[in-house]
Amino acid sequence: DGGITQSPKYLFRKEGQNVTLSCEQNLNHDAMYWYRQDPGQGLRLIYYSQIVNDFQKGDIAEGYSVSREKKESFPLTVTSAQKNPTAFYLCASTMTGGNQPQHFGDGTRLSIL
C-alpha cells in the first residue's frame, strides 16, 4: 500500500534534548512538508523540500532542522532551541507541478517530560 509513514506515534523529550521525527513515503512524490498542529491554530508550515538535497524554511522554522538525502525520506529534528515543542507534527507529500493536493501521514505527538 502506498502512503506516508510517520514514526514514532508518540515521543517524549527531556529538557536540552534533540529529538528526530521520521517521515517516509513510497508514493514517489517529489515534495515533502512538515507541519505543526496546535489546538485552535490550524497547521503551520515548518520546512518543505521540493527536491532531494534542497529544502526551504516555512513560517515557523526556528528551533527545527531537516535533511533530504533521499527522495522518500524527510526527517525533522526538534532541537533544544525550540522552547515550546509540545504539539502534533504532521508530514505531507505531493507531486510537484500540476498543482496536486498534499497527502498526510498520521502524525507524531511530541510531549515534554
Partner 1 sequence: QKEVEQDPGPLSVPEGAIVSLNCTYSNSAFQYFMWYRQYSRKGPELLMYTYSSGNKEDGRFTAQVDKSSKYISLFIRDSQPSDSATYLCAMYTGTASKLTFGTGTRLQVTL
Cell of 24: 517516509
**Sheet hosting strand 76-78, strand order edge to edge:** 4-7, 19-25, 76-78, 64-66
**x-marked contacts with partner 1 along 20-39 as a string, rule CB under 8 A:** -----------x-x------
How many residues belong to the site for partner 1 (CB under 8 A)?
Answer: 24
For the chain, the C-alpha Rg in angstroms (whole number) is: 13
**x-marked contacts with partner 1 along 53-72 as a string, rule CB under 8 A:** ---x-x--------------
For partner 1, give the closer residue by CB, 46 or 78: 46
Residue among 87, 90, 93, 110 that touches partner 1 (CB under 8 A): 90
- Please count the CA atoms within 13 angstroms of the CA of 37 that sit on its side-chain side: 14
Least distance CB 78 / partner 1 (angstroms): 18
Least distance CB 16 / partner 1 (angstroms): 28
C-alpha distances in angstroms, 71 versus 10, 37, 40, 50, 112? 25, 24, 32, 9, 30
Binding site for partner 1 (CB under 8 A): 4, 6, 31, 33, 40-43, 45, 48, 50, 56, 58, 90, 96, 99, 101-107, 109
